[in-house]
Chain A
Amino acid sequence: MSRRRIPTVDDLRVKLCYICREEELYDSKPEGPPRAWTHPCKCTLVAHESCLLKWIQTSQGDASRAPNALKCPQCGSQYELESQRPLILRLLGSGNRALGRMGRLFTLATAAGCVAVFTSGVYILFTAYGAYAIRKFIGREMYDILLTDDPANWPWTAFLNLPSLTLSLILSRFQSSHQIPTLIPLLLVWPPSTPVGARSPLSLYSSSLFTPSSLPAHHQPHWPPSPVVFGLFLVPLTRMVYRRCFGMLQYWLLGAQPPSARERDAGRGWVWQEGDVPWRIRIRANVDVVEPEQEQEQAQAQDVGDAQRHIEAQGELGEGDHANAPPEGIPAAEPQAQEPNAAAVEAAEQLIEIDTASLGRRVGGALLIPGISSAMGSLLYRLAKHSRALRQVLGVRPPLPGGAYLSPWAGMGLGMGIGGFGAGGGMEVRHWEGLGWVKRLGVTLRLILNATWHGTRTWAEADPVWWRNSIGLGLFVVAKDCIQLLHLWLAKRELESRHVKNRDFAGVDIKELDLVPSFPRDL
């Protein structure tokens, strides 16, 4: 042969398996059965075929090592595998891989589905509850105008507002302990927009009587106040006054503020904040914890007492206004002098405070609010049947005639704007004098907003169920507070009237007692 033959693994004098490090000399008979050798790459490494196959198989089983499984560790060239791989095996293999991929997808989809089902379940629940709360609060009639039971009629905003209403109702309970009124603005600032009732929006009745031109400003009912004015101004104002009065009552009755009330007042950063209104009211109260410096500082803004409440209203414009705080003082209390009393009140409060902080009680309490206010509202309504004065206070009106729902556009013109302004302005005149200019600016802005709020018309025309419900809820809160106060007062009185019963020394050996000389001991 002239051409040089290219050597193969079988031509090596010494074969050393790079995996098991066994050697085989060309002329020696290996112990055991002969083993096949292979030279799989472009360098000098050789190996037992069985060792290499084992290595490849093991490596391929490990995802992180699989890329290197068919690669020579020394020269990096690819090993080539020859095997019986009929089409059917390859098909099965790719089928298996596809199934695996689909399986992973399915797992992912299932997980996503579970999350989606759970989330949408919660969402539906919240939305349904929100609708229920609205219905309870504004009454059936208005509910049928604004929302109806059929979600198909709802404006898209309802699908955001209703669940968030539920959420804020629950959350309101966690900001501080006694915050029921927080939700009234929430319920009332429900966008009172387009009536969505199925019946014809603009009937003959309404178009003939309430065309924009025939509805001058003073025809707008002046009572009850518009919901926006009510939610934005009356509620905080009423609450402020109520808290102060109740605080005084509490102080007069107990001789000290209950610790919870003190904490509550001190810890209240912000009371409520209403979504799209650049207006925030902060109430901070310092009751008998006033530092000397603070005292001086506040003495300018307020007039009496070292127990002061400091009401601060500030817009998002960044301007504070201290002057509009109605000057009023809680009966002056010397911190030292009231210590024992405060301690007694605290003890009494601990006695009756069992689990007000429990989760269920809070959430449940929050969710009951619409029901309670509705029940109280209908109670008031029933009472109003017997009292003309109450009827006027509640502004009870007969239900709107069938089909008399106003189109949202009926009053959209100038007439409506003035009407809304007039109604709002009329309500505010009383408070206007007491307001600082920042607040005045706010009110003006508010009223302009109000005037452009086309839905106000609907609210103004319908029987103001929301109004008596709000009053009812307010009465409920008052009653609840009074009962709580009574409980506290009784518990405190019980603590103070406690005495340990005194006994004589009957049964004790008289010799063991060190008695006064005057004690007759001639027995």
Chain B
Amino acid sequence: MTSISARRLGKELTEIKAEGCPVGINLVKADDFATWWFTIEVMGESLYQGEKYTLQFRFDSNYPISSPAVQFVVGDGKVSPVHPHVYSNGHICASILGNEWSPVLSVIAVCVTIQSMLASCKKKERPTDNDRYIRFAPDNPKKTRFHYDDDTV
């Protein structure tokens, strides 16, 4: 019997392939149940018009009980969006990826949330502690204890 995480991811993947992703979101690769890549574009009027970013999901065997590790891919010509909640190493400070994660959310739901987070951005800037953070940041953003202080952006 395959693990719960593999079965659930399998179902999510089937759904994505059957129904397609929401507008602006495209599956790049999902070769295994460990790492998936999506591209994200913000549709309509926004500060990120015409820009395309790659979002990476990493799952452990406890998914969906434990949240996926989600970050923007940086390197190989890919950059992370300049956003007050996105660090230049691609890490994202969003509560749904941390203490507000719930199994009711799905990979696509996370993509949509991130997309709307970008869409509602009013000023392109890095988090104030960006330089300090990226110097000591762990590889896995889930190991960071983010302090979620601003729900408006």
Contact = CB atoms under 8 A, between A and B. Distances in A.
Interface of A: 18-22, 32, 45, 51, 54-55, 58, 62, 64-65, 68, 73-74
Contact of A73 (B7, B98, B102): B102
Interface in B1-48: 1, 4, 7-8, 11-12
A20 B98 contact: no
A68 B7 CA distance: 25
Nearest to A18: B104
Which residue, of B4, B100, B101, B145, has the highest number of chain A Cβ atoms within 10 A? Answer: B4
Contacts of B100: 68
Interface residues of B, number: 19
A68 B12 contact: no
A68 B102 contact: yes
A494 B100 CA distance: 81
Given A45-B104, A73-B105, A74-B104, A20 B99 contact: no
Most buried by A among B7, B12, B64, B103: B103
Given A20-B4, A21-B8, A22-B7, 15 more contacts: A18-B103, A18-B104, A19-B65, A21-B7, A21-B12, A51-B4, A54-B65, A55-B103, A64-B98, A64-B145, A65-B99, A65-B101, A68-B99, A73-B105, A74-B104
B103 A19 contact: yes
19 contacts: A18-B103, A18-B104, A19-B65, A20-B4, A20-B7, A20-B64, A21-B7, A21-B11, A32-B1, A45-B104, A51-B4, A51-B103, A54-B65, A55-B65, A58-B65, A64-B98, A73-B102, A73-B103, A74-B104
Contacts of A20: 4, 7-8, 64, 103
A62 B62 CA distance: 14
B112 to A, nearest CB: 15
B68 to A, nearest CB: 14
Nearest to A19: B103
A165 to B, nearest CB: 43
Contacts of A73: 102-105
Tell which of A21, A22, A74 has the most Cβ of chain B within 10 Å. A21
A69 to B, nearest CB: 10
B130 interface: no
A32 B1 CA distance: 10
B66 interface: yes
A62 B145 CA distance: 12
A477 to B, nearest CB: 52
Nearest to A52: B103
A19 B11 CA distance: 12
A55 B65 CA distance: 6
A118 B89 CA distance: 44
B36 to A, nearest CB: 16
Nearest to A59: B65
B64 A19 contact: yes
Contacts of A22: 7
A68 B95 CA distance: 12
Contacts of B104: 18-19, 45, 73-74
Interface in B63-117: 64-66, 98-105
Nearest to B11: A21
A22 to B, nearest CB: 7
A64 B65 contact: no
Contacts of B62: 58
Nearest to B10: A21
Contacts of A65: 99, 101
Nearest to B4: A20
Contacts of B102: 68, 73
A14 to B, nearest CB: 14
A55 B98 CA distance: 14
A79 to B, nearest CB: 12
A455 to B, nearest CB: 57
Nearest to A16: B11
A225 to B, nearest CB: 61
Q: Which 8 A-B pairs have the closest CB atoms?
A: A73-B102, A64-B99, A19-B103, A73-B104, A21-B11, A21-B8, A18-B104, A65-B99
A74 B99 CA distance: 15
Contacts of A45: 104
B32 to A, nearest CB: 18
Choose among B1, B64, B98, B105 the residue with the greatest number of A CB atoms under 10 Å from its CB.
Answer: B64
A22 B11 CA distance: 8
A21 B107 CA distance: 13
B64 to A, nearest CB: 6
Contacts of B66: 58
Contacts of B101: 65
Contacts of B99: 62, 64-65, 68
Nearest to A32: B1
Contacts of A62: 99
